[in-house]
A and B are shown apart, each in its own frame.
Chain A
Amino acid sequence: MTLRECYAQLEGDYEGTLGRLCSEKLVEKFALKFLADDSYELLEESLEAGNYSEAFRAAHTLKGVSLNLGFTKLNRVSDELTEALRDCSGLEDMQLLENVKKEYQRTIELLQELQNG
């Protein structure tokens, strides 16, 4: 799978990201580095522990990095979750977390495929 194909399946913004990061090599390098990022794990853990301010920060981080890497879909769902957590008082709509979880797992799987060639 090529980088472009990976972005296509992710429904990501390949052209835009390439334009901003200037080189395909950089896009690929940082996209793959996302595999090692533990923001999602932090998000799940802190929600379970009821630490909503930590959960807000984790969601915010996920939102930011997905935005910068052009993971448009992941960005959209994590943005929704971030806003729901902004006042740090809890999470009423668990579906929002479900959406992020689903999209995050899909993203990771596709990136792993890319990594394995």
Chain B
Amino acid sequence: MRSKVLIVDDMELNREMLTAILENDYPILEADGGRKAITVIQKQQEDIAVVLLDLIMPEVDGFAVLEVMKNQGWMKHIPVLVITAEDKVDVESKCFEMGVSDFIRKPFDNAIVRNRVKNIVDLYSYRNQLEEKVEKQTETLKKQYKLLVMQAEKLKESNTKIIDILGTVVECRNLESGEHIKRVKNFTRILAEQIMSDYPEYGLTQDKIEVIVSASALHDVGKIAIPDSILLKPARLTKDEYEYMKSHTTRGCEVLNNVQGVWDETYSKISYEICRHHHERYDGKGYPDGLAGEEIPISAQMVGLADAYDALVSERVYKSAYSEDEAFHMIVSGECGVFSPKLLECFRKTKKKFEAENRALKKLQSEKEKAE
């Protein structure tokens, strides 16, 4: 609590006269010059309630003290009351310009000095208390905000976890898909980042890309509802089997509908889009809904291309792997269905990145196999 009064005057008699007025109400500090005053304020700035300042002093005068107090920010909490025999009007206005709270001319009246000091001390004490309160509340708000951010982060983590769990289920069900899921994720990221920089109209952001990449792991979640006889058949599927196989898109959506309410809307929406529409094609000849053009969500378009590319460069029970060049041309020429011109443009631009990714992942895979 600030309670002390600092009296700054080079003349002892003046200090004594002011001390006599105030010593019954406040502890008194004295400074016989500007330099001493600055030292005292610096040391006791938390205790000083008001400074009574003389202007005309040798060496460091009252104005210099005001200058220092202003620059140090002390005046925000410590009011200054100038007491002087100066009768020039411009001196008074200069003092107020420099942030002085009150100006008392000599000869002063003891009662008036006492009252003005009391008023200014009370006012500043109230103000300082208010400020302290606001500071405390701001601190609390900041803490709460931090907590919210942490919780949001946690929520995000748990959203990702749900996707990972579902993705793992798919992997376990279909031995072939383990590496496939990883590759589709990485190819999807390559495409998404290119689209974000080239085509802002899709409104992709780094955050959204993270959700899409994460959710791309679920594109084949519906396959857990496909019987082994079809899913793991070591040969080409018959027409009927193929038709049944196509239903993994809609069956996946049923699975996702069951986990709705558990996770964030953005995550569930994007997972749903990818799951249902990653076999749609730009000319409307895909399945299950025959969506065309930009009716197909961009997330599903990207995962669709990534999925098709990976199927081509991978070995399957019914086919050997195509070379990277062959796969590239097959995608671009529409042999795996038609993709959007913008998406293909991005694919062309990122051809090298796709190939690097493909090699890196294949290398990892073969090392793993060797180890086993």
Contacts and interface: CB of A to CB of B under 8 A. Distances in A.
Interface in B27-62: 56-58
Given A20-B109, A20-B110, A68-B17, A57 B85 contact: no
**Most chain-A CB neighbours within 10 Å: which of B13, B17, B107, B109?**
B107
Given A21-B110, A37-B12, A70-B107, A63 B58 contact: no
Contacts of B109: 19-20
Interface stretch (A26-34, A93-101, A106-114): A26-34
B104 to A, nearest CB: 11
A41 B85 CA distance: 20
* Contact size range, A: 20 to 34
Given A57-B56, A64-B84, A64-B85, A20 B20 contact: no
**Most chain-B CB neighbours within 10 Å: which of A26, A57, A63, A68?**
A68
Contact of B14 (A20, A22, A29, A64): A64
A30 B10 contact: no
A91 interface: no
Nearest to B58: A57
Contact of A60 (B16, B85, B110, B111): B85
Nearest to A29: B20
A61 B110 contact: no
Contacts, number: 58
Interface string B179-209: 0000000000000000000000000000000
Given A30-B17, A54-B58, A61 B11 contact: yes
Interface in A23-45: 26, 29-30, 33-34, 36-37, 39
B371 to A, nearest CB: 91
A34 B13 contact: yes
* Contact size range, B: 10 to 19
A26 B85 CA distance: 20
B106 interface: yes
B11 A37 contact: yes
Nearest to B57: A57
A67 interface: yes
A65 B57 CA distance: 14
A63 B20 contact: no
A65 B84 CA distance: 10
Contacts of B108: 20, 68
Nearest to A59: B56
Given A57-B58, A60-B85, A65 B13 contact: yes
A21 B13 CA distance: 14
A20 B115 CA distance: 13
A40 B268 CA distance: 91
22 contacts: A17-B107, A20-B107, A20-B108, A22-B110, A22-B111, A30-B20, A34-B13, A36-B13, A37-B11, A39-B11, A56-B56, A57-B56, A61-B10, A61-B11, A61-B14, A61-B56, A64-B11, A65-B13, A67-B107, A68-B14, A68-B108, A69-B107
Interface of B: 10-14, 16-17, 20, 56-58, 84-85, 106-111
Given A33-B16, A64-B85, 9 more contacts: A20-B108, A54-B58, A61-B11, A64-B14, A67-B106, A67-B107, A68-B17, A68-B85, A68-B108
Nearest first, the 4 closest Cβ-Cβ pairs linking A and B are A64-B85, A20-B109, A68-B107, A67-B106
Interface of A: 16-17, 19-22, 26, 29-30, 33-34, 36-37, 39, 54, 56-57, 60-61, 63-65, 67-70
